[in-house]
A and B are shown apart, each in its own frame.
Chain A
Protein backbone atom coordinates (compact mmCIF):
# COMPACT_ATOMS: atom_id res chain seq x y z
CA UNK A 1 0.00 0.00 0.00
CA UNK A 2 1.29 3.46 -0.85
CA UNK A 3 0.50 6.09 1.80
CA UNK A 4 0.60 9.58 0.29
CA UNK A 5 2.40 12.26 2.21
CA UNK A 6 -0.85 14.19 2.81
CA UNK A 7 -2.31 11.41 4.98
CA UNK A 8 -3.47 12.98 8.25
CA UNK A 9 -3.44 9.78 10.35
CA UNK A 10 -7.12 10.16 11.16
CA UNK A 11 -7.53 6.37 11.41
CA UNK A 12 -10.79 6.12 9.47
CA UNK A 13 -9.23 3.50 7.17
CA UNK A 14 -8.20 1.41 10.19
CA UNK A 15 -11.75 1.46 11.55
CA UNK A 16 -13.20 -0.07 8.37
CA UNK A 17 -10.43 -2.54 7.46
CA UNK A 18 -12.31 -5.82 7.93
CA UNK A 19 -9.07 -7.59 8.87
CA UNK A 20 -7.79 -4.99 11.36
CA UNK A 21 -4.47 -4.69 9.53
CA UNK A 22 -3.81 -0.96 9.76
CA UNK A 23 -1.78 0.46 12.64
CA UNK A 24 -2.28 4.21 13.00
CA UNK A 25 0.60 5.91 14.75
CA UNK A 26 0.62 9.57 15.76
CA UNK A 27 2.48 10.39 12.55
CA UNK A 28 2.55 7.19 10.56
CA UNK A 29 0.53 4.38 9.07
CA UNK A 30 1.67 0.77 8.98
CA UNK A 31 -0.03 -1.98 7.02
CA UNK A 32 0.23 -5.64 7.78
CA UNK A 33 0.46 -6.37 4.05
CA UNK A 34 0.63 -10.14 4.54
CA UNK A 35 -3.00 -10.45 5.62
CA UNK A 36 -4.31 -7.90 3.09
CA UNK A 37 -7.03 -9.25 0.80
CA UNK A 38 -6.92 -6.20 -1.46
CA UNK A 39 -10.59 -5.38 -0.83
CA UNK A 40 -9.84 -1.64 -1.29
CA UNK A 41 -12.27 -0.64 1.47
CA UNK A 42 -9.58 1.45 3.17
CA UNK A 43 -8.73 3.21 -0.11
CA UNK A 44 -12.36 4.09 -0.84
CA UNK A 45 -13.20 5.55 2.57
CA UNK A 46 -10.25 7.92 2.96
CA UNK A 47 -11.59 11.51 3.19
CA UNK A 48 -8.53 12.88 1.35
CA UNK A 49 -7.67 10.06 -1.06
CA UNK A 50 -4.32 9.33 0.57
CA UNK A 51 -4.04 5.60 -0.19
CA UNK A 52 -3.05 3.88 -3.39
CA UNK A 53 -2.48 0.21 -4.09
Chain B
Protein backbone atom coordinates (compact mmCIF):
# COMPACT_ATOMS: atom_id res chain seq x y z
CA UNK B 1 0.00 0.00 0.00
CA UNK B 2 1.18 3.51 -0.86
CA UNK B 3 1.15 5.90 2.10
CA UNK B 4 1.04 9.69 1.66
CA UNK B 5 -0.06 12.77 3.55
CA UNK B 6 -2.21 14.21 0.78
CA UNK B 7 -3.71 12.40 -2.22
CA UNK B 8 -5.01 14.64 -5.00
CA UNK B 9 -7.45 12.87 -7.33
CA UNK B 10 -7.48 14.57 -10.75
CA UNK B 11 -4.68 16.51 -12.44
CA UNK B 12 -6.70 19.30 -14.06
CA UNK B 13 -5.86 22.92 -13.21
CA UNK B 14 -7.58 22.70 -9.79
CA UNK B 15 -5.81 19.47 -8.78
CA UNK B 16 -2.39 20.64 -9.95
CA UNK B 17 -2.79 23.91 -8.08
CA UNK B 18 -3.80 22.02 -4.92
CA UNK B 19 -0.89 19.57 -5.26
CA UNK B 20 1.58 22.39 -5.81
CA UNK B 21 0.51 24.39 -2.78
CA UNK B 22 0.23 21.38 -0.49
CA UNK B 23 3.79 20.34 -1.49
CA UNK B 24 5.15 23.89 -1.19
CA UNK B 25 3.81 23.97 2.35
CA UNK B 26 5.60 20.80 3.37
CA UNK B 27 3.12 17.95 2.80
CA UNK B 28 4.03 14.70 1.09
CA UNK B 29 1.74 14.74 -1.96
CA UNK B 30 0.66 12.24 -4.60
CA UNK B 31 -1.53 13.36 -7.52
CA UNK B 32 -3.19 10.76 -9.75
CA UNK B 33 -5.12 11.09 -13.02
CA UNK B 34 -6.84 8.45 -15.09
CA UNK B 35 -5.67 10.11 -18.29
CA UNK B 36 -2.57 8.85 -20.06
CA UNK B 37 -1.85 12.42 -21.11
CA UNK B 38 -2.65 15.25 -18.71
CA UNK B 39 -4.78 17.90 -20.44
CA UNK B 40 -5.96 15.61 -23.26
CA UNK B 41 -8.62 15.60 -24.58
CA UNK B 42 -9.37 19.22 -23.86
CA UNK B 43 -12.88 20.05 -22.69
CA UNK B 44 -12.63 23.82 -22.81
CA UNK B 45 -12.90 26.96 -24.93
CA UNK B 46 -9.58 28.03 -23.37
CA UNK B 47 -10.41 31.61 -22.40
CA UNK B 48 -8.72 32.95 -19.28
CA UNK B 49 -8.44 36.43 -17.75
CA UNK B 50 -5.07 38.08 -17.30
CA UNK B 51 -6.08 39.24 -13.86
CA UNK B 52 -6.99 35.68 -12.82
CA UNK B 53 -3.56 34.32 -13.79
CA UNK B 54 -1.82 37.26 -12.14
CA UNK B 55 -3.62 36.70 -8.86
CA UNK B 56 -2.42 33.11 -8.91
CA UNK B 57 1.14 34.27 -9.47
CA UNK B 58 1.39 32.46 -12.80
CA UNK B 59 3.66 34.08 -15.37
CA UNK B 60 2.16 34.05 -18.89
CA UNK B 61 4.18 31.67 -21.06
CA UNK B 62 4.17 31.75 -24.88
CA UNK B 63 4.22 27.95 -24.88
CA UNK B 64 0.64 27.86 -23.65
CA UNK B 65 -0.81 31.17 -24.84
CA UNK B 66 -2.17 31.09 -28.38
CA UNK B 67 -3.73 34.53 -28.52
CA UNK B 68 -4.03 37.78 -26.62
CA UNK B 69 -7.42 39.45 -26.85
CA UNK B 70 -8.51 43.06 -26.91
CA UNK B 71 -12.23 42.74 -26.28
CA UNK B 72 -15.52 40.97 -26.50
CA UNK B 73 -18.07 40.92 -29.32
CA UNK B 74 -21.59 40.06 -28.19
CA UNK B 75 -24.03 39.11 -30.90
CA UNK B 76 -27.83 39.03 -30.64
CA UNK B 77 -29.99 36.50 -32.51
CA UNK B 78 -30.45 38.71 -35.60
CA UNK B 79 -26.71 39.38 -35.83
CA UNK B 80 -26.60 42.83 -34.20
CA UNK B 81 -23.36 43.18 -32.27
CA UNK B 82 -22.07 45.12 -29.31
CA UNK B 83 -18.32 45.34 -28.88
CA UNK B 84 -16.77 45.86 -25.47
CA UNK B 85 -13.21 47.01 -25.31
CA UNK B 86 -11.05 45.34 -22.69
CA UNK B 87 -9.53 48.66 -21.57
CA UNK B 88 -12.98 50.02 -20.78
CA UNK B 89 -14.84 47.15 -19.21
CA UNK B 90 -13.44 44.47 -16.90
CA UNK B 91 -14.50 41.15 -18.34
CA UNK B 92 -14.07 37.66 -16.97
CA UNK B 93 -12.36 34.97 -19.10
CA UNK B 94 -11.31 37.54 -21.70
CA UNK B 95 -7.56 38.06 -21.65
CA UNK B 96 -5.81 35.14 -23.30
CA UNK B 97 -6.74 32.03 -25.20
CA UNK B 98 -4.72 29.12 -23.88
CA UNK B 99 -3.57 25.84 -25.35
CA UNK B 100 -5.08 23.77 -22.53
CA UNK B 101 -3.25 20.61 -23.56
CA UNK B 102 0.01 22.41 -22.83
CA UNK B 103 -1.23 24.62 -19.97
CA UNK B 104 -2.57 21.69 -17.93
CA UNK B 105 0.74 19.85 -18.30
CA UNK B 106 2.68 22.94 -17.25
CA UNK B 107 0.52 23.30 -14.15
CA UNK B 108 1.19 19.64 -13.29
CA UNK B 109 4.91 20.22 -13.86
CA UNK B 110 4.77 23.14 -11.41
CA UNK B 111 3.26 20.75 -8.86
CA UNK B 112 5.99 18.16 -9.50
CA UNK B 113 8.71 20.80 -9.20
CA UNK B 114 7.21 21.82 -5.86
CA UNK B 115 7.71 18.20 -4.74
CA UNK B 116 4.47 16.38 -5.61
CA UNK B 117 4.58 12.89 -7.07
CA UNK B 118 2.39 12.20 -10.11
CA UNK B 119 0.88 8.99 -11.46
CA UNK B 120 -0.87 9.06 -14.84
CA UNK B 121 -3.30 6.48 -16.25
CA UNK B 122 -4.27 5.79 -12.66
CA UNK B 123 -7.97 5.67 -11.85
CA UNK B 124 -9.43 6.03 -8.36
CA UNK B 125 -12.26 3.53 -8.02
CA UNK B 126 -13.46 3.91 -4.43
CA UNK B 127 -12.82 5.23 -0.96
CA UNK B 128 -13.19 3.97 2.59
CA UNK B 129 -12.15 5.25 6.01
CA UNK B 130 -9.91 3.31 8.38
CA UNK B 131 -9.36 4.94 11.74
CA UNK B 132 -8.46 8.53 11.01
CA UNK B 133 -7.09 7.71 7.53
CA UNK B 134 -8.70 7.18 4.13
CA UNK B 135 -7.92 4.29 1.84
CA UNK B 136 -8.48 4.91 -1.86
CA UNK B 137 -8.60 1.96 -4.20
CA UNK B 138 -6.90 2.61 -7.54
CA UNK B 139 -6.07 0.93 -10.84
CA UNK B 140 -3.04 1.39 -13.06
CA UNK B 141 -3.26 -0.92 -16.08
CA UNK B 142 -3.56 -4.45 -14.65
CA UNK B 143 -2.34 -3.35 -11.23
CA UNK B 144 -5.01 -2.82 -8.54
CA UNK B 145 -3.72 -1.24 -5.37
CA UNK B 146 -4.57 0.96 -2.40
CA UNK B 147 -3.38 4.39 -1.34
CA UNK B 148 -3.57 5.45 2.28
CA UNK B 149 -3.80 9.19 2.92
CA UNK B 150 -4.52 11.60 5.71
CA UNK B 151 -6.30 13.97 3.37
CA UNK B 152 -7.92 13.53 -0.04
CA UNK B 153 -8.32 16.52 -2.32
CA UNK B 154 -11.16 15.66 -4.70
CA UNK B 155 -10.32 17.43 -7.97
CA UNK B 156 -12.11 15.02 -10.27
CA UNK B 157 -13.87 17.62 -12.39
CA UNK B 158 -17.54 17.65 -13.46
CA UNK B 159 -17.97 13.93 -12.73
CA UNK B 160 -17.46 14.76 -9.05
CA UNK B 161 -17.74 11.20 -7.79
CA UNK B 162 -15.06 11.33 -5.10
CA UNK B 163 -16.87 13.86 -2.89
CA UNK B 164 -19.98 11.68 -3.04
CA UNK B 165 -17.95 8.63 -1.98
CA UNK B 166 -17.01 10.70 1.06
CA UNK B 167 -20.64 11.50 1.84
CA UNK B 168 -20.77 15.04 0.43
CA UNK B 169 -23.52 16.27 -1.88
CA UNK B 170 -21.39 16.90 -4.94
CA UNK B 171 -22.67 15.98 -8.39
CA UNK B 172 -24.83 18.30 -10.45
CA UNK B 173 -28.53 18.59 -11.22
CA UNK B 174 -29.31 18.58 -14.96
CA UNK B 175 -30.71 22.12 -14.73
CA UNK B 176 -27.27 23.29 -13.58
CA UNK B 177 -25.15 21.28 -16.01
CA UNK B 178 -24.33 22.97 -19.30
CA UNK B 179 -24.04 20.30 -21.96
CA UNK B 180 -21.32 21.47 -24.31
CA UNK B 181 -20.02 20.67 -27.77
CA UNK B 182 -17.23 22.44 -29.62
CA UNK B 183 -15.17 22.19 -32.77
CA UNK B 184 -11.68 23.55 -33.00
CA UNK B 185 -11.78 24.91 -36.56
CA UNK B 186 -9.53 26.31 -39.27
CA UNK B 187 -10.53 28.83 -42.02
CA UNK B 188 -12.63 30.75 -39.51
CA UNK B 189 -13.43 34.26 -40.80
CA UNK B 190 -14.18 36.41 -37.76
CA UNK B 191 -15.45 39.97 -38.03
CA UNK B 192 -13.28 40.99 -35.07
CA UNK B 193 -10.40 38.48 -34.91
CA UNK B 194 -9.03 39.99 -31.69
CA UNK B 195 -12.29 39.61 -29.77
CA UNK B 196 -13.91 36.62 -28.20
CA UNK B 197 -17.44 36.24 -29.47
CA UNK B 198 -20.61 35.35 -27.57
CA UNK B 199 -23.89 34.57 -29.31
CA UNK B 200 -27.05 34.68 -27.22
CA UNK B 201 -30.60 33.49 -27.66
CA UNK B 202 -32.19 30.39 -29.10
CA UNK B 203 -28.96 29.28 -30.85
CA UNK B 204 -28.08 27.84 -27.44
CA UNK B 205 -31.08 27.42 -25.12
CA UNK B 206 -30.01 27.97 -21.51
CA UNK B 207 -26.48 28.91 -22.47
CA UNK B 208 -24.64 30.68 -25.27
CA UNK B 209 -22.53 29.94 -28.31
CA UNK B 210 -18.95 31.17 -28.60
CA UNK B 211 -16.13 31.70 -31.03
CA UNK B 212 -12.77 32.05 -29.29
CA UNK B 213 -9.91 32.89 -31.67
CA UNK B 214 -6.67 30.89 -31.29
CA UNK B 215 -4.47 32.92 -33.65
CA UNK B 216 -4.25 32.84 -37.47
CA UNK B 217 -7.55 31.48 -38.78
CA UNK B 218 -8.08 29.01 -35.91
CA UNK B 219 -10.86 29.21 -33.34
CA UNK B 220 -12.80 27.20 -30.80
CA UNK B 221 -16.39 27.26 -32.03
CA UNK B 222 -18.80 25.83 -29.50
CA UNK B 223 -21.85 26.14 -27.34
CA UNK B 224 -23.43 25.06 -24.10
CA UNK B 225 -27.11 24.27 -23.63
CA UNK B 226 -29.35 23.10 -20.81
CA UNK B 227 -30.89 19.84 -21.90
CA UNK B 228 -33.92 20.68 -19.77
CA UNK B 229 -34.75 23.46 -22.28
CA UNK B 230 -34.26 21.73 -25.64
CA UNK B 231 -34.99 18.42 -27.31
CA UNK B 232 -31.80 18.51 -29.37
CA UNK B 233 -28.36 17.47 -28.20
CA UNK B 234 -25.55 19.97 -27.78
CA UNK B 235 -23.89 18.47 -30.85
CA UNK B 236 -26.99 19.01 -33.01
CA UNK B 237 -27.15 22.65 -31.87
CA UNK B 238 -23.46 23.02 -32.70
CA UNK B 239 -23.94 21.71 -36.25
CA UNK B 240 -26.75 24.23 -36.80
CA UNK B 241 -24.67 27.08 -35.39
CA UNK B 242 -21.74 26.27 -37.66
CA UNK B 243 -24.09 25.98 -40.67
CA UNK B 244 -25.64 29.39 -40.04
CA UNK B 245 -22.83 31.56 -38.66
CA UNK B 246 -21.14 33.83 -41.23
CA UNK B 247 -17.69 33.20 -39.68
CA UNK B 248 -17.80 29.44 -40.20
CA UNK B 249 -19.06 29.13 -43.79
CA UNK B 250 -15.65 27.91 -44.98
CA UNK B 251 -14.40 26.53 -41.69
CA UNK B 252 -13.28 22.94 -41.23
CA UNK B 253 -13.01 21.07 -37.92
CA UNK B 254 -9.77 19.60 -36.64
CA UNK B 255 -11.14 18.55 -33.24
CA UNK B 256 -14.47 17.77 -31.61
CA UNK B 257 -14.71 18.39 -27.86
CA UNK B 258 -17.65 17.62 -25.62
CA UNK B 259 -18.32 17.77 -21.91
CA UNK B 260 -20.32 19.10 -18.99
CA UNK B 261 -19.85 22.41 -17.24
CA UNK B 262 -21.46 22.73 -13.77
CA UNK B 263 -22.84 26.27 -13.51
CA UNK B 264 -25.00 26.09 -10.39
CA UNK B 265 -22.45 27.84 -8.18
CA UNK B 266 -20.11 26.59 -5.46
CA UNK B 267 -21.62 23.66 -3.53
CA UNK B 268 -22.54 24.14 0.13
CA UNK B 269 -20.45 21.43 1.72
CA UNK B 270 -16.84 21.52 0.57
CA UNK B 271 -15.34 19.68 3.53
CA UNK B 272 -15.78 16.24 5.10
CA UNK B 273 -13.50 14.38 7.49
CA UNK B 274 -10.23 13.85 5.55
CA UNK B 275 -11.70 15.38 2.36
CA UNK B 276 -11.63 18.74 0.56
CA UNK B 277 -13.41 19.25 -2.77
CA UNK B 278 -12.02 21.71 -5.39
CA UNK B 279 -12.57 22.97 -8.93
CA UNK B 280 -15.46 21.80 -11.13
CA UNK B 281 -16.09 19.00 -8.64
CA UNK B 282 -17.08 21.75 -6.17
CA UNK B 283 -18.91 23.96 -8.69
CA UNK B 284 -16.13 26.57 -8.74
CA UNK B 285 -17.25 27.81 -12.13
CA UNK B 286 -18.39 31.33 -13.04
CA UNK B 287 -22.13 30.75 -13.51
CA UNK B 288 -22.39 33.33 -16.31
CA UNK B 289 -19.41 32.44 -18.48
CA UNK B 290 -18.91 28.81 -17.45
CA UNK B 291 -15.23 29.66 -16.91
CA UNK B 292 -13.61 27.56 -14.19
CA UNK B 293 -9.87 27.58 -14.79
CA UNK B 294 -8.73 30.39 -12.51
CA UNK B 295 -11.51 29.98 -9.94
CA UNK B 296 -10.75 26.25 -9.68
CA UNK B 297 -7.05 27.01 -9.30
CA UNK B 298 -7.80 29.55 -6.60
CA UNK B 299 -9.80 26.89 -4.76
CA UNK B 300 -6.88 24.53 -5.36
CA UNK B 301 -4.42 26.94 -3.80
CA UNK B 302 -6.60 27.31 -0.72
CA UNK B 303 -7.15 23.54 -0.46
CA UNK B 304 -3.42 22.84 -0.75
CA UNK B 305 -2.60 25.34 1.97
CA UNK B 306 -5.34 24.14 4.31
CA UNK B 307 -4.37 20.47 3.76
CA UNK B 308 -0.68 21.14 4.44
CA UNK B 309 -1.56 22.99 7.61
CA UNK B 310 -3.82 20.15 8.73
CA UNK B 311 -0.95 17.70 8.20
CA UNK B 312 1.35 19.87 10.31
CA UNK B 313 -1.28 20.21 13.06
CA UNK B 314 -2.12 16.49 12.80
CA UNK B 315 -5.81 17.41 12.66
CA UNK B 316 -7.87 16.69 9.56
CA UNK B 317 -11.46 16.22 10.64
CA UNK B 318 -14.13 18.28 8.87
CA UNK B 319 -14.13 20.61 11.87
CA UNK B 320 -10.35 21.05 11.80
CA UNK B 321 -10.43 22.05 8.14
CA UNK B 322 -13.58 24.17 8.15
CA UNK B 323 -11.65 27.33 7.36
CA UNK B 324 -11.42 25.97 3.79
CA UNK B 325 -15.10 26.63 3.32
CA UNK B 326 -14.86 30.16 4.66
CA UNK B 327 -11.88 31.07 2.49
CA UNK B 328 -13.53 29.63 -0.64
CA UNK B 329 -16.64 31.62 0.13
CA UNK B 330 -14.63 34.85 0.33
CA UNK B 331 -12.24 34.27 -2.55
CA UNK B 332 -14.41 32.34 -5.00
CA UNK B 333 -18.13 32.05 -4.24
CA UNK B 334 -18.89 35.68 -3.29
CA UNK B 335 -17.65 37.00 -6.62
CA UNK B 336 -20.07 34.69 -8.46
CA UNK B 337 -23.22 36.27 -7.06
CA UNK B 338 -23.43 39.14 -9.53
CA UNK B 339 -22.72 36.81 -12.45
CA UNK B 340 -25.52 34.47 -11.41
CA UNK B 341 -27.94 37.42 -11.46
CA UNK B 342 -26.72 38.59 -14.86
CA UNK B 343 -27.13 35.09 -16.23
CA UNK B 344 -30.66 34.77 -14.91
CA UNK B 345 -31.44 38.08 -16.58
CA UNK B 346 -29.96 37.08 -19.93
CA UNK B 347 -31.77 33.75 -19.95
CA UNK B 348 -35.08 35.46 -19.21
CA UNK B 349 -34.94 37.50 -22.43
CA UNK B 350 -36.58 36.47 -25.69
CA UNK B 351 -34.72 36.64 -29.01
CA UNK B 352 -36.65 39.84 -29.88
CA UNK B 353 -35.72 41.48 -26.59
CA UNK B 354 -32.07 40.56 -27.05
CA UNK B 355 -32.15 42.07 -30.55
CA UNK B 356 -33.69 45.35 -29.43
CA UNK B 357 -31.22 45.68 -26.54
CA UNK B 358 -28.28 45.00 -28.83
CA UNK B 359 -29.59 47.58 -31.30
CA UNK B 360 -29.88 50.20 -28.57
CA UNK B 361 -26.36 49.62 -27.32
CA UNK B 362 -24.67 49.04 -30.65
CA UNK B 363 -23.15 52.50 -30.95
CA UNK B 364 -22.64 53.09 -27.24
CA UNK B 365 -19.29 54.28 -26.02
CA UNK B 366 -18.96 52.26 -22.83
CA UNK B 367 -16.14 54.52 -21.72
CA UNK B 368 -18.55 57.31 -20.86
CA UNK B 369 -21.81 55.53 -20.16
CA UNK B 370 -23.05 55.20 -16.58
CA UNK B 371 -25.73 53.07 -14.96
CA UNK B 372 -28.51 55.64 -15.20
CA UNK B 373 -27.87 56.03 -18.92
CA UNK B 374 -28.04 52.29 -19.37
CA UNK B 375 -31.38 52.28 -17.58
CA UNK B 376 -32.66 55.18 -19.74
CA UNK B 377 -31.72 53.29 -22.88
CA UNK B 378 -33.37 50.12 -21.67
CA UNK B 379 -36.61 51.95 -20.87
CA UNK B 380 -36.72 53.21 -24.43
CA UNK B 381 -36.10 49.88 -26.15
CA UNK B 382 -37.91 47.47 -23.92
CA UNK B 383 -39.69 48.35 -20.71
CA UNK B 384 -40.39 44.66 -20.29
CA UNK B 385 -36.69 43.81 -20.35
CA UNK B 386 -36.06 46.51 -17.79
CA UNK B 387 -38.79 45.15 -15.58
CA UNK B 388 -37.13 41.74 -15.64
CA UNK B 389 -33.86 43.40 -14.68
CA UNK B 390 -35.51 45.24 -11.80
CA UNK B 391 -36.86 42.01 -10.38
CA UNK B 392 -33.38 40.55 -10.12
CA UNK B 393 -31.34 43.38 -8.61
Contact = CB atoms under 8 A, between A and B. Distances in A.
A15 B160 contact: yes
A20 B161 contact: yes
Given A8-B258, A48-B258, A14 B161 contact: yes
Interface string A9-53: 011101111101011111000000000000001001111110000
B259 A11 contact: yes
A16 to B, nearest CB: 5
Contact of B171 (A8, A15, A23, A26): A15
A28 B342 CA distance: 38
A15 B41 contact: no
B17 to A, nearest CB: 20
B123 A25 contact: yes
B208 to A, nearest CB: 15
A1 to B, nearest CB: 16
Nearest to A23: B125
Contact of A24 (B36, B159, B165, B258): B159
B260 A45 contact: yes
B259 A47 contact: yes
B260 A10 contact: yes
B174 A11 contact: no
Interface residues of B, number: 32
Contact of B227 (A14, A18, A23, A45): A45
Contact of A12 (B35, B161, B258): B258
B177 A12 contact: yes
Contacts of B125: 23
Question: Chain B: interface secondary structure?
Answer: mixed
A46 B235 CA distance: 9
Interface residues of A, number: 22
A12 B177 CA distance: 8
A10 B164 contact: no
A12 B158 contact: yes
A11 B26 CA distance: 33
A47 B174 CA distance: 12
A47 B160 contact: no
A15 B179 contact: no
A14 B234 contact: no
A47 B177 contact: no
Nearest to A26: B34
Contacts of B180: 47
A7 B164 CA distance: 24
19 contacts: A8-B41, A8-B258, A10-B260, A11-B157, A11-B158, A11-B159, A12-B259, A16-B171, A16-B172, A20-B171, A23-B161, A26-B35, A26-B123, A45-B179, A46-B233, A47-B180, A47-B181, A47-B235, A48-B181
